[in-house]
């Protein structure tokens, strides 16, 4: 697992388990911090694989893993993190890197990525987004093919239109990596995807939204007019708010 810490630049660090993850968070937390977790937090009910927000996203072509595997881990991590920084204001919010990745990859492949930085909310996606499948950088077993797919994601994360700046250069996937090392690198890339949506949210980018609600489950994501409308048509609340408004 990995954490992307953002100050002026992005710094990616790794940990072996939840304990090390919490230590990294504790070492980087500040007043009015935003902590984004790639794990279901709210709405995880025993015996239920998908929450309303998960079903709505799946209908729009964003496939979600069953939340039953997470159990109460996200809720426990959120509680532990809040206890770590007792007396400090912060937000702990759920994200889903694949949703961010698919949105950005679709924009990149259609020459629309520069639109993300414009202070204008528009419909950038269309029905073909449901069928669009970006390179699967985690599931490919053949090393050569996996390297190519991870190179695609590297090019996305370092695209100047996104503007993600790193304290040290982001690791580039090459043939010297073992498959286990590529797994670790994929975790780092996931953390960077979270950093992108976190920056957009903190800067009030018009494409940063929260879908769902705290009781049944909510996810911070990037959405345009098409995706927002599709989620709302399925009864999912999609709202924009100040990232630190609920501190």
pTM to 2 decimals?
A: 0.91
pLDDT of residue 21: 78
pLDDT of residue 72: 86
- Cα–Cα dist 3/108, whole Å: 25
CB-based contact 70:228 (threshold 8 Å): no
Q: What are the average pLDDT values for consecutive 10-residue runs of the chain, which has 247 residues?
A: 64 75 76 85 88 97 88 87 73 94 98 93 97 92 94 96 89 93 93 92 94 94 98 96 61
For the record, the structure tokens of 109 come out as 């492949």
pLDDT of residue 2: 60
pLDDT of residue 6: 62
pLDDT of residue 26: 77
């Amino acid at each position: 697992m990995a954490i992307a810490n953002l100050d002026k630049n992005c710094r990616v660090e790794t940990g072996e388990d939840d304990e090390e993850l919490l230590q990294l968070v504790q070492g980087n937390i500040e007043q009015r911090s935003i902590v984004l977790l790639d794990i279901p937090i709210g709405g995880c009910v025993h015996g239920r694989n998908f929450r309303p927000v998960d079903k709505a996203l799946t209908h729009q072509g964003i496939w979600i893993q069953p939340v039953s595997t997470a159990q109460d881990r996200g809720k426990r991590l959120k509680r532990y993190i809040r206890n770590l920084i007792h007396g400090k204001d912060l937000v702990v919010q759920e994200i889903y890197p694949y949703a961010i990745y698919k949105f950005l990859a679709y924009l990149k492949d259609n020459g629309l990525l520069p639109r993300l930085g414009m202070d204008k909310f528009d419909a950038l996606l269309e029905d073909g987004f449901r069928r669009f499948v970006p390179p699967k950088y985690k599931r490919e077993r053949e090393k050569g093919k996996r390297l190519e797919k991870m190179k695609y994601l590297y090019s996305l994360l370092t695209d100047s239109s996104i503007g993600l700046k790193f304290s040290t250069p982001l690791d580039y996937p090459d043939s010297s990596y073992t498959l286990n090392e590529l797994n670790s690198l994929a975790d780092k890339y996931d953390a960077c995807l979270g950093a992108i949506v976190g920056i957009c949210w903190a800067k009030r980018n018009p494409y940063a939204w929260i879908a769902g609600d705290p009781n049944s489950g909510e996810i911070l994501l990037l959405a345009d007019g098409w995706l927002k409308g599709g989620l709302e048509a399925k009864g999912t609340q999609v709202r924009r708010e100040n990232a630190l408004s609920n501190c």
